[in-house]
Homo-oligomer: A and B are copies of this chain.
Amino acid sequence: MIKTKIDAYSLLKKIRQEKPIVHHLTNWVTIYDCANIVKVLGASPVMAHAKEEAAQMANIASSLVLNIGTLTPEFVEAMKIAARSANKKGIPVILDVCGAGATRLRDEKSFELLNEVRIDIIKGNASEIVRLSGENIRTKGVDSSEVEQDMLAVTGWLSNRFKAVVVATGKHDIVNGKGKSYIIKNGHPIMTHVVGTGCMAASVIGTFAAVSKDLVCATVSALACFEIAAELAVKKSKGPASFKEKLFDCIFDLDDKAINKMQKIYL
């Protein structure tokens, strides 16, 4: 594995200049945090789920983030309407398969979305992503380097199957797309003690994807920036809740110096 030099800051700068609109159909638990993380990045979040306006809203946006965290069948129909509009406009669609594997409904609706509309970036934690790959990839990892190998295989298979960038978050994040795979080693364990960091990661990816045609690079840059901010935030915090507050402040203040010095992206 070799450390690679992706200019993660350049896209953050572009977000702050272009202030793209990032349309969400997301869950009711972390909806505020998803909107707010987009805002502190310098972009413009819009949350709109009515099927009567989902298409029009997607059409004024620069990317679309879907998250099935508190899905219902009706809500997924609105997601499809928004996604078709996004597909037509040619803006990237990010799907967070939040909770895939927990119930039949989540599995079925994840596959419905993947099969009926074009999803450009699929994002989940390791177990959610493994679930999507079904029986097609045998995972056998026990120790962390084996798990990493497994996740490289799983995301690679999924990326090929759905012609999408695939992200599996975890201690290290795996990004696979267009035959290339990256491992991002930024971040901090405290992120797992706060509800919403996974959902926010999807919104950050959606925001970076709004300003770049290269979705692999956008995804890798997004995760690196988000997690570098987390590393900075944890130093100023006294627990999970104060960490979350500092995380937003640190994203707002994130600069090229910190990113260039701290980013750990491996090829």
A residues in contact (CB < 8 Å) with B = 27-33, 35-36, 39-40, 45-50, 52-53, 56-57, 60, 69-73, 99, 102-106, 193-196, 238-242, 244-250, 252-253
Contacts and interface: CB of A to CB of B under 8 A. Distances in A.
B33 A48 contact: no
A109 B29 CA distance: 23
A119 to B, nearest CB: 21
A246 B238 CA distance: 9
Contact of A47 (B40, B70, B242): B70
Contacts of A48: 70, 99, 102-103
Contacts of A102: 46, 48, 53, 56-57, 60
A38 to B, nearest CB: 8
Nearest to A45: B195
A112 to B, nearest CB: 13
A39 B193 contact: yes
* Copies of this chain, whole number: 3
B195 A35 contact: yes
Contact of A105 (B29, B50, B69, B248): B50
Nearest to A78: B72
Pick from A49, A70, A99, A239 the residue with the most CB of B within 10 Å: A239
A248 B244 CA distance: 11
A196 B34 CA distance: 12
A180 to B, nearest CB: 34
Contact of A33 (B32, B238, B249, B253): B32
CB-CB nearest 8 A-B residue pairs: A239-B249, A241-B248, A53-B105, A53-B103, A50-B72, A56-B103, A36-B195, A35-B195
Contacts of A253: 239
Contacts of A47: 27-29, 69-70
A197 B41 CA distance: 17
Q: Which of A29, A40, A249 has the most CB of B within 10 A?
A: A29
